[in-house]
């Protein structure tokens, strides 16, 4: 048979036959295993080889023997059927959402500590059998994991034009100061006053936002540390080694030896739940997406009620 590039896609029936061949003593008996007549079996094998553009069966060998290419194709064929089983199991679990696994991405502490936990709690109350795993990576990597299909859903900073999104929270940047610092006496700290002291710059999710805030005002902080860990920054500020600007939602309510103050000018960012296509989510991910929508609607309605009672 001449070698040429495949022009059609192999069918599952043909691949099933190829798998049956590996545990049969002849082509006809392999066909019988999958319910094919001898002529249909022969035709299906030829069609598969035509589709792939190469021979898979060594017809000169005694019994059934695969060619070199056939041997190398086989593990991938097994993967196809393993994936099919996974599709069926996922569909079955998704039908009732009694079991399952949901992997959520998170761009940083604001989402991981403040935004996602109450939402996950609500979701778990409705679907106790579903396990939820949160993976925290920088915003850019989390977005890449969504594009490369390693995740279906993630909490990231908005806007993100490549994704379907819904807002979960609005976060703002605040000054983080040692308790005894002169600026700690102010209710709101002017941004220009943040450039005199040694500055500890976060390398986590809000780094770009902090840098942009200063550059927009034509200011440059005296950066002496660039740190990824939130607790390290808070410890250094508490011990008087410098001052910082961090996202409010990433911070604990209080941290000994530090105070948090609004900035002027300040800046905020939206944190949202995103996916590649909300109409093509797995059942588990769709249930979480819908729970997030309900949760945000409930938050807005309770905020409105607070406004009307004031």
What pLDDT does 95 receive? 61
Tell me what percent of the residues of the chain surpass a pLDDT of 70. 93
* Inter-residue contact 296 to 271 (CB < 8 Å): no
Q: Give the 3-state secondary structure of residue 283.
A: helix
What pLDDT does 289 receive? 97
Please report the sign of the dihedral spanned by the C-alpha atoms of residue 268, residue 273, residue 276, residue 279: negative
Assess whether pLDDT exceeds 80 at residue 304: no
What pLDDT does 2 receive? 47
Map out the domains of the chain with their CATH numbers: 12-89 (1.10.10.10), 97-166+271-302 (3.40.190.10), 170-267 (3.40.190.290)
Sort strands 164-178 and 243-247 into parallel, antiparallel or unpaired: antiparallel
Count CB neighbours of 165 within 10 A.
Answer: 17
Average pLDDT value over all residues in the chain: 89
Cis peptide bond N-terminal to 226, omega within 30: no
Q: For the segment 143-186, what is each residue's pLDDT rounded down to a tens digit? A: 999 998 899 999 999 999 989 999 999 999 999 999 999 999 99
Joined together, the tokens standing for residue 157 give 């900073």
Q: Closest Cα partner for 152 from 107, 103, 106?
A: 103
Assess whether pLDDT exceeds 90 at residue 274: yes
What is the three-state SS of 16-62? HHHHHHCCCCCHHHHHHHCCCCHHHHHHHHHHHHHHHCCCCECCCCC
Joined together, the tokens standing for residue 148 give 């490369």
What pLDDT does 7 receive? 61
Lowest mean pLDDT among 12-16, 79-83, 93-97, 116-120: 93-97
What pLDDT does 299 receive? 79
- Please name every residue paired with 178 in a beta bridge, in sequence order, or none if there are none: 258
Q: Is the pTM of this model over 0.95?
A: no
Q: For the segment 28-55, what is each residue's pLDDT rounded down to a tens digit? A: 888 898 899 999 999 999 999 999 999 9
Assess whether pLDDT exceeds 60 at residue 6: no
Joined together, the tokens standing for residue 254 give 């209080």
Q: For the segment 58-108, what is each residue's pLDDT rounded down to a tens digit? A: 887 777 788 999 999 999 988 888 788 777 766 665 566 778 899 999 998
């Amino acid at each position: 048979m001449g070698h040429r590039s495949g022009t059609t896609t192999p069918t599952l029936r043909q691949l099933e036959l190829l798998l049956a061949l590996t545990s049969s003593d002849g082509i006809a008996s392999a066909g019988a295993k999958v319910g094919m007549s001898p002529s249909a079996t022969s035709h299906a094998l030829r069609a598969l080889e035509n589709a792939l553009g190469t021979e898979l069966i060594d017809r000169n060998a005694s019994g059934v023997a695969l060619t070199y290419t056939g041997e190398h194709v086989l593990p991938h064929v097994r993967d196809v059927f393993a994936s099919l089983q996974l599709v069926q199991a996922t569909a079955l679990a998704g039908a009732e959402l009694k079991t399952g696994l949901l992997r959520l991405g998170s761009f940083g502490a604001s989402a991981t500590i403040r935004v996602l936990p109450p939402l996950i709690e609500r979701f778990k109350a409705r679907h106790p059998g579903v396990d939820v795993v949160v993976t925290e990576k920088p915003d850019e990597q989390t977005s890449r994991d969504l594009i490369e299909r390693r995740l279906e859903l993630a909490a990231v900073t908005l806007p993100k034009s490549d994704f379907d999104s819904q807002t979960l929270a609005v976060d703002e940047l605040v000054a983080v100061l040692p308790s005894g610092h002169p600026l700690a006496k102010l209710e709101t700290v002017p941004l220009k006053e943040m450039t005199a002291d040694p500055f500890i710059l976060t390398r986590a999710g809000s780094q770009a936002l902090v840098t942009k805030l200063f550059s927009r005002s034509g200011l440059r902080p005296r950066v002496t540390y660039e740190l990824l860990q939130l607790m390290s920054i808070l410890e250094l500020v508490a011990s008087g080694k410098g001052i910082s600007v961090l996202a409010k939602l990433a911070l604990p309510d209080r941290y000994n030896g530090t105070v948090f103050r609004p900035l002027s000018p300040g800046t905020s960012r939206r944190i949202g739940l995103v996916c590649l296509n909300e109409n093509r989510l797995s059942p588990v991910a769709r249930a979480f997406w819908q729970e997030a929508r309900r949760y945000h609607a409930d938050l807005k309605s309770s905020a409105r009620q607070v406004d009307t009672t004031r």
